[in-house]
Amino acid sequence: MEEISYYSFAYDDYQFLKANVEMCRTNNAMTSIAQNICEKFLKHLIVVFCTSVDCTAVLKTHSLKRILRFLEQYLPDFSLDRKKVMLADGYYFSARYPGDESFFVNAEDVQICWEAAEETKRAVDRYLEKQKAG
């Protein structure tokens, strides 16, 4: 049986998004899923490595900025291309629900969000490997 964790859920969504990107699809769900993938990979680090601090609020947020600030404070040795990942911030709501900030995404939006998801996965995997080896 597969482990239930933020990482396993992020990876499952990552595989789904990857298949859709490879088929050159473009739809709103892809960008919000990409942002959510970033969140889940990053939240995995918080759950695993930030055990001595109250993480309740950060685990409930969908703000990549807030999650990354938390990680900068409590896991300062974790690094990733913050600018690339931050480009995906905001799609979770604006591409999922109608409202003043809503829009339909284009291929460029999908690519930006896909690159953010890839960068986040690579950085989290590097960090996990480093911790395993260290």
Domain tally, the chain: 1
Range of the domain at 32: 6-133
1 part of a folded domain: no
Cα 76 to chain centroid, rounded? 18
Between residues 55 and 91, which one has the greater pLDDT? 55
126 part of a folded domain: yes
Tokens of 96: 């999922």
Q: What DSSP state is assigned to residue 97?
A: S
Tokens of 43: 């939240």
Tokens of 134: 């260290």
State the Cα–Cα distance between residues 95 and 107, nearest whole angstrom: 13
* CATH assignment at residue 10: 1.20.120
Which pTM was predicted? 0.94
- Mean pLDDT calculated for residue range 54-77: 96
pLDDT band at 90 (very low <50, low <70, confident <90, very high): confident
pLDDT band at 100 (very low <50, low <70, confident <90, very high): confident
Q: What DSSP state is assigned to residue 101?
A: T
